[in-house]
Structure 1
């Protein structure tokens, strides 16, 4: 069965590179009308242009998801351009890598603000639009969290782990609250995925971590994008409030 999203309005946050870019490109290839959001204007426009060059439809909208007013602008620009909002992918995130003994308050706060509070802002604002305007069509919200903090613990990622676990808990409650409006909420948990954001950590940890991954390879951004596409289509219409691990079998139990 082909996974299609013809003319569905979609926002992907943090879509200027890595996993977010792959998600935006994959949704567009399936027919979605994609808003590429990123805090970096050059990255956002580059991904949107790549989508358009491939025959898809996309716009770039700059915005910091930790700022509610900027979130409103992203959403209103999307509605103005596409005429509807059907899909939200909360992907924006930062990954401070520092020991809890040395972490300063700014590192902690920034991570929670972007990864968790940004997910709250975008979910709340988009679900209001979806519940008011979409009727029986409802909507789809997919959060990109992480295995870190949920099923796997890694040193120097305490803030990231806390935010990731928070996103999972938040999504489960939202799934219950928003189900009467036809809005499905699910979360994808990537494991070790090779992206620009994780490259420095990959160089340091791949030799140690690879033997712990049953499928014996590091993930690609496209692996995550494929799972997100499934969750955005009618093929997953009976799935909400769940998490999908995209980690090659990696888990806390697989760590010796």
Structure 2
């Protein structure tokens, strides 16, 4: 297969949760640029419609769907409307996420549960529903968005987000386990772990702590608006057909430092 063809996503249908802004919008745009039809899902559906209107300029089909991944009925509806509209679900990007900052000794348990409900439980239940469709198709790609914060501890000055960190560590383990369990069905499960990217969720914290963050990044910069495009297309395409159960770190070299 020609290498250009390996990255071509024409005729594929991709679902991106949390896809209306930030990293989700960046990845949704990349998939559309590679030729995929894209379903943009988020709790605030108005922003999904706005992004879909932009993506249609790329001559792909789009669909905006309201979805709170922590709600089982929303996940079921998202999978159902995707299959009804496009007849297939080839790529699932589990990007929807939530965080809450608080002292770990006094972390509110309701916020702990809310973070895990979205970042871990919601991710799993949507993946399982999508996998049933992919199993019937004989093929599918699931890409979970983890974080370098899931690798270990962070100081409270940089990330006082114990529930978020724990959830992202769990996402990495879940990725490996589902990859092994679903490989026999032709379903690939991988993860991307971004480093420090300014988004609507993290921009304020990164601006405040830039002096603490940049010394930890060998490339000495934050993530840019195009830095996830290549990785998401790679893991969604035939170019990664011998890759499963892996976590691709996109973080400027943070994990290379001892």
Q: TM-score range by the shorter chain?
A: over 0.9
1:236 to 217, 221, 240: 240
Aligned residue among 37, 44, 51 for 1:40: 44
Residues 152 and 252, structure 1, Cα contact 8 Å, conserved in 2: no
Equivalent of 2:204, from 200, 204, 217? 200
Mapping of residues 173-184 of structure 1, within 5 Å: 173-184=177-188
CA distance in 2, matches of 1:149, 1:236: 23
Deviation at 1:151, TM superposition (A): 4.5
Q: Higher mean Cα deviation, 14-23 or 100-109?
A: 100-109
Given that 1:65 and 1:71 are in contact with CA atoms closer than 8 Å, whether structure 2 keeps it comes out as: yes
- Structure 2 distance, partners of 1:72, 1:187, is 22
Q: Shift of residue 45 of structure 1?
A: 1.1
Alpha-carbon distance in 2 for matches of 1:223, 1:16 = 17
1:247 to 243, 251, 254: 251
* Structure 2 counterpart of 1:112, from 93, 110, 116: 116
For the residues of structure 2 that align with 1:151 and 1:29, how far apart are their CA atoms?
A: 35
Q: CA deviation at 1:152?
A: 5.4
Q: CA deviation at 1:223?
A: 1.1
TM-score with structure 2 length normalisation?
0.94
The whole-number CA distance in structure 2 between the counterparts of 1:98 and 1:207 is 21
- Give the superposed CA RMSD: 1.3
Unaligned runs of 5+ in 2: none
Indicate the residue corresponding to 1:58 in structure 2: 62
Which shows bigger deviation, 51-60 or 241-250?
A: 51-60
Does the C-alpha gap of structure 1 residues 62 and 154 become closer, same or farther in structure 2, counting only changes over 3 Å?
farther
* Counterpart for residue 89 of structure 2: 85
Structure 1 residue 40, shift from structure 2 partner: 0.6
Q: Deviations over 1:143-165 (max 9, x none)?
A: 00100021452421100001001
- Give the Cα–Cα distance (whole angstroms) in 2 for the partners of residues 15 and 89 of structure 1: 9
CA distance in 2, matches of 1:188, 1:113: 20
Residue 56 of structure 1, CA deviation: 2.6
Q: Which residue in the other structure is 1:141 paired with?
A: 142
Separation in 1 of the partners of 2:56 and 2:207? 33
TM (norm. structure 1) is 0.94
Q: Check whether the contact 1:5–1:31 (CA below 8 A) recurs between aligned residues.
A: yes
Distance 1:85 1:147 in 2: 28
User: For structure 1, which segment, 196-205 or 235-244, has the greater mean C-alpha deviation from structure 2 after superposition?
Assistant: 196-205
- The answer as to 2:79 corresponding to 1:71 is no
1:23–1:224 Cα contact (<8 Å) kept? yes
Distance of 1:236 and 1:154 partners within structure 2: 35
Q: Which residue of 2 aligns with 1:170?
A: 174
CA contact (8 A) 2:32 2:58 kept: no
1:99 Cα deviation from its structure 2 partner:
1.4
Match of 1:153 in 2: 154
Which of 127, 150, 154 is the aligned partner of 2:131? Answer: 127
Indicate whether 1:213 and 2:214 are aligned: no
Post-superposition offset of 1:221: 3.9
Query: SS where residue 89 of structure 1 aligns?
Result: strand
